[in-house]
């Protein structure tokens, strides 16, 4: 199917062509005709599937451009408000459509001025309510014909349910309401039943709630190895652009500092960072000036960067909904993505619950050792050499150097300089072997989630006990005196 078949107005089709869209995504194929017909819509689709265009294109196509606010889009975070506004503006620029972006931390006065000239308002629940109720000035009077709830499950997770209900109390009864959500918990269904009238229900996720373009894997390590495992995996996978998710703001700051000390271009993103700095960080990340973004769940909600190649879960989240939203930052717009989770033996049951909830099995992997990383980096370097064209500048440099060195010595010296960038830091062996992980799986299944055997007796040493201390190649560490002096748990790693 093509966008031309939907019956969108000519100006919107021009904007679609300029944006480089070639064919609609599944959620767009389902949603756009329904929105154009004026129907209410409830759409469940994972992030990165083109949901903004699914509601934005038909909503813009139906605008009367009468000088009033005709479309209201409610989103959970400032970052998502900015991104949705940018995309709506891009699609509507040919029509001369103006947007107003409403969120906390910015001037009320400037936002009120923008609303006066806007056809589309995109805002977060708290600031929208402030303006509708006239908290700091005369209340705004808007009667949009279309109201969109984007990332509805995120808004409920963030505690905005009552705000959303109150916003709807100010909306006209004859509106068209569109609800988009990555997951569909009971609270979302209740919300849809209350505020939508005979909606068309769209579900793109089928039995799985995660994007099948995303390869999902996990690595099991001891807690003390988590930082080292993260660095090793980044070295090995060599992501183009990646996001690392942490549970707390303090952890974000610490991991960002650690990665920068290891030579990576990394910055943190969380709620305590000044909004201006957050916006700059996101802009730099989109432009590739930062290769790694470390973020909390709340700070990253709605973050839309199409070319994120990898997502790393420094800690797995506590619930499957957060997991779905995290890994949905990669594999967007039809691209392939990679999601990596680092867990400890004690977190294994949490991983199993997530697998059961999302209907997918994560691939069990072992943290690569130093030789494996070197081998991969060497292969990548050889490919670069093969693809590199000889330039005049390079030839001039060789002519300058060959007067001092024979060809073989010159080649060795240049290769040695390059090899400095390929040094791998850290321990050779990090994390559990496949045999270890199989034992942990069995132990986790038998423990019934109580951290011990069903007969009530605890295994010696817990998650890091002697049963899990074998190396992947079953080598003999030999020095049993070291084993006795350092203790069974610490002997797992040299």
Give residue 230's pLDDT. 96
Residue 51: which of 332, 275, 374 has the closest Cα?
Answer: 332
Band the pLDDT of 47: cuts 50, 70, 90. low
pLDDT (tens digit per residue) in 119-133:
999 999 999 999 999
Compute the radius of gyration of the chain from its Cα atoms.
27
Band the pLDDT of 445: cuts 50, 70, 90. low
Give the residue-averaged pLDDT of 322-345: 87
* Contact present, 256 and 268 (Cβ < 8 Å): yes
Could you give the CA distance from residue 397 to residue 374 in angstroms, rounded to a whole number?
28
Counting beta carbons within 10 angstroms of the beta carbon of residue 238, is it exposed (0 to 12), middle (13 to 18) or buried (19 or more)?
A: middle
Could you give the CA distance from residue 361 to residue 38 in angstroms, rounded to a whole number?
40
Band the pLDDT of 48: cuts 50, 70, 90. low
Asked if the model's pLDDT at residue 477 lies above 70, the reply is no
pLDDT (tens digit per residue) in 152-174:
988 988 889 999 999 999 999 99
**Between 155 and 421, the higher pLDDT residue:** 155
Q: What is the mean pLDDT of the chain?
A: 82
Could you give the CA distance from residue 431 to residue 445 in angstroms, rounded to a whole number?
20
Asked if the model's pLDDT at residue 241 lies above 90, the reply is yes
Could you give the CA distance from residue 28 to residue 50 in angstroms, rounded to a whole number?
7
Could you give the CA distance from residue 203 to residue 114 in angstroms, rounded to a whole number?
35
Residue 147: which of 117, 180, 114, 118 has the closest Cα?
Answer: 180
Give residue 482's pLDDT. 33
> Which segment of 62-76, 196-210, 227-241, 314-328 scores lowest on mean pLDDT?
196-210
Asked if the model's pLDDT at residue 147 lies above 90, the reply is yes
Buried b (16+ CB within 10 A) or exposed e, 148-165: bbbbbbbbbbbebbebbe
Asked if the model's pLDDT at residue 37 lies above 70, the reply is yes
pLDDT (tens digit per residue) in 193-217:
999 999 999 987 544 445 678 899 9
DSSP per residue, 15-76:
HHHHHT--S--HHHHHHHHHHHTT--EEEE--TTS-HHHHHHHHHHHT---SSS--EEEE-S
Q: How far is CA 488 from CA 185, 221, 418, 484, 491, in A?
A: 45, 16, 40, 7, 5
Give the residue-averaged pLDDT of 25-44: 94
**Between 458 and 20, the higher pLDDT residue:** 20
Asked if the model's pLDDT at residue 403 lies above 90, the reply is no
> Which segment of 183-187, 243-247, 254-258 scores lowest on mean pLDDT?
183-187
**Between 483 and 417, the higher pLDDT residue:** 417
pTM above 0.85, yes or no: no
pLDDT (tens digit per residue) in 219-236:
999 999 999 999 999 999
Tokens read off for 331? 């594999």
Asked if the model's pLDDT at residue 313 lies above 90, the reply is yes
Asked if the model's pLDDT at residue 110 lies above 50, the reply is yes
Give residue 419's pLDDT. 66
Coil, strand, or helix at residue 327?
A: helix
Q: Please, what is the angle between helix 348-358 and helix 434-447, to 10°?
A: 80
Sequence-ordered list of residues with C-beta below 8 angstroms from that of 435, at least 6 positions apart, any chain: 470, 472
> Which segment of 98-102, 294-298, 315-319, 487-491 scores lowest on mean pLDDT?
487-491
Give the residue-averaged pLDDT of 292-319: 84
Band the pLDDT of 475: cuts 50, 70, 90. very low
- Percent of the residues in the chain that have a pLDDT greater than 70, as a whole number: 84
Give residue 290's pLDDT. 92
Give residue 490's pLDDT. 38
Buried b (16+ CB within 10 A) or exposed e, 3-37: beebebbebbbebbeeeebeebbebbbbbbebbbe
Instruction: Tell how far CA 286 is from the center of its chain.
Output: 13
Band the pLDDT of 424: cuts 50, 70, 90. confident
**Between 1 and 170, the higher pLDDT residue:** 170
Give residue 378's pLDDT. 74
Instruction: Tell how far CA 372 is from the center of its chain.
Output: 27
Give residue 446's pLDDT. 64
Give residue 386's pLDDT. 73
Band the pLDDT of 259: cuts 50, 70, 90. very high
Band the pLDDT of 478: cuts 50, 70, 90. very low
Q: What is the dihedral of CA 113, 116, 122, 126, to 10 degrees?
A: 60
Give the residue-averaged pLDDT of 350-367: 87
Band the pLDDT of 394: cuts 50, 70, 90. confident
Give residue 114's pLDDT. 93
């Amino acid at each position: 199917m093509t966008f031309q078949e939907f019956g969108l107005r000519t100006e919107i089709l021009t904007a679609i062509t300029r944006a480089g869209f070639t064919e609609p995504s599944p959620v767009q194929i389902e949603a756009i005709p329904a929105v154009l017909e004026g129907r209410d819509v409830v759409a469940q689709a994972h992030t990165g599937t083109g949901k903004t265009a699914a509601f934005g294109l038909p909503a813009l196509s139906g605008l009367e451009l009468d000088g009033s606010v005709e479309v209201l889009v409610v989103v959970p975070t400032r970052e998502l408000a900015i991104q949705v506004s940018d995309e709506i503006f891009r699609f509507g620029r040919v029509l001369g459509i103006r947007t107003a972006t409403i969120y906390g931390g910015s001037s009320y006065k400037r936002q009120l001025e923008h609303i006066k000239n806007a056809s589309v308002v995109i805002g977060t629940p708290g600031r929208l309510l402030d303006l509708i109720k006239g908290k700091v000035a005369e209340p705004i009077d808007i009667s949009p014909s279309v109201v969109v709830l984007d990332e509805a499950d995120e808004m409920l997770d963030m505690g905005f349910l009552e705000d959303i209900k109150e916003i709807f109390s100010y909306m006209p009864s004859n509106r068209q309401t569109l609800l988009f959500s990555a997951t569909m918990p009971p609270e979302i269904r209740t919300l849809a039943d209350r505020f939508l009238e005979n909606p068309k229900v769209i579900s793109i996720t089928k039995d799985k709630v995660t994007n099948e373009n995303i390869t999902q894997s996990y690595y099991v390590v001891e807690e003390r190895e988590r930082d080292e495992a993260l660095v090793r995996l980044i070295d090995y996978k060599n992501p183009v652009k990646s996001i690392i998710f942490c549970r707390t703001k303090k952890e974000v700051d610490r991991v960002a500092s650690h990665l920068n000390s290891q030579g990576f271009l990394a910055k943190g993103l969380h709620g305590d960072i000044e909004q201006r700095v957050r916006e700059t960080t996101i802009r730099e990340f989109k432009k590739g000036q930062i290769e790694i973004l470390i973020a909390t769940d709340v700070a990253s909600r709605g973050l839309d960067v199409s070319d994120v190649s990898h997502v790393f879960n420094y800690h797995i989240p506590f619930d499957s909904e957060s997991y779905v939203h995290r890994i949905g930052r990669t594999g967007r717009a039809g691209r392939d993505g990679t999601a990596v989770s680092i867990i400890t033996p004690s977190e294994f049951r949490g991983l199993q619950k997530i697998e059961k909830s999302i209907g997918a099995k994560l691939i069990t992997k072992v943290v690569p050792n130093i030789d494996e990383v070197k081998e991969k980096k060497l292969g990548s370097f050889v490919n670069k050499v093969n693809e590199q064209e000889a330039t005049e500048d390079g030839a001039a440099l060789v002519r300058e150097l060959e007067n001092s060195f024979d060809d073989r010595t010159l080649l060795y010296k240049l290769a040695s300089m390059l090899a400095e960038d390929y040094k791998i830091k850290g321990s050779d062996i990090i994390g559990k072997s496949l045999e270890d992980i199989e034992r942990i799986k069995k132990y986790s299944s038998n423990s019934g989630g109580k951290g011990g055997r069903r007969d009530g007796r605890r295994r010696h040493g817990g998650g890091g006990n002697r049963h899990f201390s074998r190396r992947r190649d079953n080598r003999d560490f030999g020095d049993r005196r070291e084993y006795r002096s350092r203790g069974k748990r610490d002997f797992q790693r040299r």
